[in-house]
Amino acid sequence: MLYLKLFWEFFKTGLFAIGGGMATLPFLSAIGETTKWFSSLQLANMVAVSESTPGPLGINMATYVGYTVSHAAGAIVATLSEVLPSIIIISIVAAVLQKFKNNQYIQDGFYGLRAASTGLIAAACFSVAKVAILKMNFHVRAKNLLTLMKWINWKALLFAFILLIFTNWVPKTKRWHPIVFIAISAFVGIIWKF
């Protein structure tokens, strides 16, 4: 029964998480809430590990959660069920897209999907930032501004801002490979103890 539940949860995630790995985070958050397989803090740690390892984030997350739930067998079930919808859909799309690629309805549909994936990725970023920058889980709400100020992890916020600057606006560091920033972030996290 556990494997069937694992399969169904990740099949749904693979089917509806349009926009890549970050778009799976709202679905994973919902899985954690409903199944209690992992907490929001564990989810944030999974994201950090999945971002630091080779491969697509969504697939890495499925493998990680599956392994957490039921070791190697769980990892295999979750990973395969995550990719199965994509295999089915891309096979169908590849077969018919060539015929309808210039159709205005198809073009408009793809435009709508880009907007949906942007929204899902923004929601995922907010969820991760809430755990990383604020010392709270996904469900806690601050009662007032003073309480919120106490919960802010100022070191993490400062470091995130510095990384934003170096990855977007400093010409020399902007070209660095993401793994360099991941390694620096891990080192700073160990030294600075966020």
pTM > 0.75: no
103, 171: one domain? no
Residues 78-120: tens digit of each pLDDT: 999 999 998 998 898 888 877 777 888 888 988 898 898 888 8
**Which of 53-67, 122-136, 139-153 shows the highest mean pLDDT?**
53-67
Given this model, what pLDDT does residue 83 score? 94
- Three-state SS letters, the chain: CHHHHHHHHHHHHHHHCCCCHHHHHHHHHHHHHHHCCCCHHHHHHHHHHHHHCCCCHHHHHHHHHHHHHHHHHHHHHHHHHHHHHHHHHHHHHHHHHHHHCCCHHHHHHHHHHHHHHHHHHHHHHHHHHHHHHECCCCCCCCCCHHHHHHHECHHHHHHHHHHHHHHHCCHHHHCCCHHHHHHHHHHHHHHHCC
Given this model, what pLDDT does residue 163 score? 94
157, 182: one domain? yes
**Any domain includes 142:** no
99, 35: one domain? yes
25, 109: one domain? yes
Average pLDDT over residues 133-143: 61
**Which of 46-50, 147-151, 165-169 shows the highest mean pLDDT?**
165-169
Given this model, what pLDDT does residue 138 score? 46
The model's confidence at residue 142, banded by pLDDT at 50, 70 and 90, is: low
Q: Which range marks the domain in which residue 110 is found?
A: 2-136
What's the mean per-residue pLDDT of the chain?
Answer: 86
